Amino acid sequence: MRTTKYVFVTGGVTSSLGKGIIAASLAKLLQERGYSVTIQKLDPYINIDPGTLNPYEHGECYVTDDGAETDLDLGHYERFLNIPTSQANNVTTGRIYQSVIDKERKGEFLGKTVQVIPHITDEIKRRIQILGNTGEYDIVITEIGGTVGDIESLPYVESVRQLLWELGEENAIVIHLTLIPFLAAAGELKTKPTQHSVKMLMQSGVSPDILVCRTEHELDDKLKAKLALFCNVKKEDVIESIDADTIYDVPLLMHEEGLDHVVLSKLKLSTEKQPELSKWNHFLKQHKNPCHEVEIGLIGKYVELHDSYKSITEALIHAGAVNEVKVNVKWIHSEELIPETIENELSGLHGILVAPGFGDRGIEGKIKAVQYARENNIPFFGICLGMQMAVIEFARNVLNLKDANSTEMDSNTSNPVIGLMEEQKEITKKGGTMRLGAWECQLQENSNVFKAYKALKISERHRHRYEFNNSYLEQMTEKGLQASGINPKTGLVEVVELPNHPWFVGVQYHPEYKSTVLNPHPLFVDFVKATLNYTQ
């Protein structure tokens, strides 16, 4: 069994510095040097998982194969590393406390006072080491959510302190990600906030081994020397992270700055093999040198916060690169799509994507968008709720079932074309109770989806409660809606399409979760190709 080494990534000064991207970029470099790497995210909030959070709070909820509802950073990890993550890769304070409290109720601490230290910190340390203890990884990178100094981060920082001491300096290190602000009036980059955040870490007994400094301007030698002196690191351990054009440039920038080299040196691992980035570079070359341009309308109700659709927009980037197309996303709020605005909003688009979502806000706009795409032969991609809206639109406007709806939106509709499965009807609890994670799907050979996947059996990730109501299947098929993907276990319809349309596909699952840089998702690739054909 190998000895797993640990890299902890903490954040200072402010949130939103991109710890997830730095962690993923470092992991990519180490992976391409031949190390087996995974990344874990610790989130200091009390929710058990982000599944119950409104996307406006933390952006998209990302779903893994094993059905974990997780932080969107796990999406970056998968997109960069091209390997799946799981529940073990995302831990929240809620989950930590739940395990400790469950143990307490079982009497496992009988006679003892249960406390943050050692019980909560022990549980955090156990969760950090679960991935390492599988023996599968040379290096586990653990990203600590939040900002150093936050009250809720304290138990995590204390756990890191203990682990550093227990594992020894060759086996565990800390990267502190920080901001070097530029004061325009003074014309200067400022190091003081970083000095303070490092001081804050040190008060908790942790001194960073490496500083990664987010900045809008280059850090000169003098400034790096100053940071080194005041933050107790060597000058070569001060890594500049300058704003990049795309997140996919960050691994290259980090390599130029030597981040992977210093990490390996500190962990006493070989730096001999250089990262093999030819495939990555090929993607970047295509991404940056498109030959064509398309505009795709993304219809959703959380469009004010683009992070709510992170995996979708990244999947469009991957698919754009394959097709050598620049994909421009037009963000369209479904609530604003009314008969008076629809022509203005949607005409001129080369593709229409109706996004996932919950609840009835804005759904009539989504249905209108489906109708517009169907009637005007514009490539259409409906994902999860988007697929359900396509089914409702077809029922209302082709089958003439005017009140067709999903029982999520109207529990009294006389035509529930989308409804709850029997087992879902019993469920009253909200968290983790949807149909989640990977399910198999059987595709029909004479379909657009088969042409895209080039496979008859696929596996895709789900996150929804409502399903296509099979009592309408016959009517719908008769009128030209093809159920081209079926769940072989349950008989549920997972894909619908219109054979008499250039490209009209609705999927009950979330293909966006599985698109990576090195493995762009076939449906997104095919959709973007269809939008390109549409421009011609």
424 sits in which H/E element: helix 422-425
In the complex, minimum distance from the CB of residue 63 to ligand GLN, in angstroms, rounded to a whole number: 9
Establish if 301 lies at the interface with ligand GLN (CB under 6 A). Answer: no
Asked if 358 interacts with ligand GLN (CB under 6 A), we say yes
The two structure tokens encoding residue 268: 């006493």
Q: How many CA atoms lie within 13 A of 12 on its CB side?
A: 30
Which of 466, 468, 503, 524 lies at the binding interface for ligand GLN (CB under 6 A)? 466
- Note whether 389 binds ligand GLN by CB under 6 A: no
Q: Is 384 a catalytic residue?
A: yes
Active-site annotation holder among 61, 231, 384, 441 = 384
Distance separating alpha carbons of residues 39 and 203, to the nearest angstrom: 26
CB of 92 to ligand GLN, least distance (A): 20
Give me the least distance between CB of 466 and ligand GLN, in Å please: 3
512 given a catalytic annotation: yes
- 56-67: burial string, b at 16+ Cβ within 10 Å, e else: eebbbbbbbbeb
DSSP state of 50: G
Q: Could you say which of 356, 379, 506, 520 contacts ligand GLN (CB under 6 A)?
A: 356
Burial of 141 (0-12, 13-18, 19+ CB in 10 A): buried
Q: What three-state secondary structure class fits 267?
A: coil
For ligand GLN, which is the closer residue by CB, 62 or 156? Answer: 62
Contact status: 385 vs ligand GLN (CB under 6 A): yes
| Site for ligand GLN, residues 407 to 426, rule: CB under 6 A | 408
Q: Which helix (H) or strand (E) holds 22?
A: helix 19-32
Q: How far is the CB of 419 from ligand GLN (least distance, A)?
A: 10
Return d(Cα 246, Cα 224) in angstroms, integer: 25
Beta bridge partners of 43: 92
How many chain residues are in contact with ligand GLN, going by CB under 6 A?
10
Contact status, residue 84 vs residue 64, Cβ threshold 8 Å: yes
Q: Of the listed pieces 123-131, 196-204, 242-250, 462-470, which binds ligand GLN according to CB under 6 A? A: 462-470
The angle formed by the CA atoms of residues 420, 424 and 428, to the nearest 5 degrees, is 120
| Structural element, H or E, at residue 459 | strand 457-464
Q: Is 275 in the site for ligand GLN (CB under 6 A)?
A: no
Tell me whether residue 6 or residue 381 sits nearer to ligand GLN (CB atom): 381
Whole-number Å distance between alpha carbons of 17 and 5: 24
User: In the numeric block, which tokens belong to residue 375?
Assistant: 């009637």
433 binding ligand GLN? (CB under 6 A): no
**Smaller CB distance to ligand GLN: residue 45 or 358?**
358
Of 67, 99, 71, the closest CA to residue 86 belongs to 67
Contact 24, 71 (CB under 8 A): no
Q: Which of 318, 497, 512, 521 is catalytic?
A: 512
| Contact region with ligand GLN (CB under 6 A), list: 21-29, 91-99, 151-159, 353-361 | 353-361
Is residue 521 within the footprint of ligand GLN (CB under 6 A)?
Answer: no
Residue number with CB closer to ligand GLN (120 or 493): 493
| Nearer residue to ligand GLN within complex by CB, 503 or 513 | 513
**Using rule CB under 6 A, residue 50 touches ligand GLN:** no
Candidate ranges 8-16, 311-319, 354-362, 476-484; the one touching ligand GLN (CB under 6 A)? 354-362
- Residue from 29, 71, 73 nearest 47 by CA: 71
Query: Is residue 336 annotated as part of the catalytic site, yes or no?
Result: no
The yes or no reply on residue 463 touching ligand GLN (CB under 6 A) is: yes
Nearer to ligand GLN, 33 or 463 (CB): 463
In sequence order, what are the residues at sequence separation of 6 or more whose Cβ sits closer than 8 angstroms to the Cβ of residue 498? 374, 480, 481, 482, 504
- Cα gap 421→398, rounded to integer Å: 25
Position 464 contacts ligand GLN (CB under 6 A): yes
Q: Which of 350, 462, 501, 510 is catalytic?
A: 510
- Which residues are known to be catalytic? 384, 510, 512
Binding site for ligand GLN (CB under 6 A): 356-358, 384-385, 408, 463-466
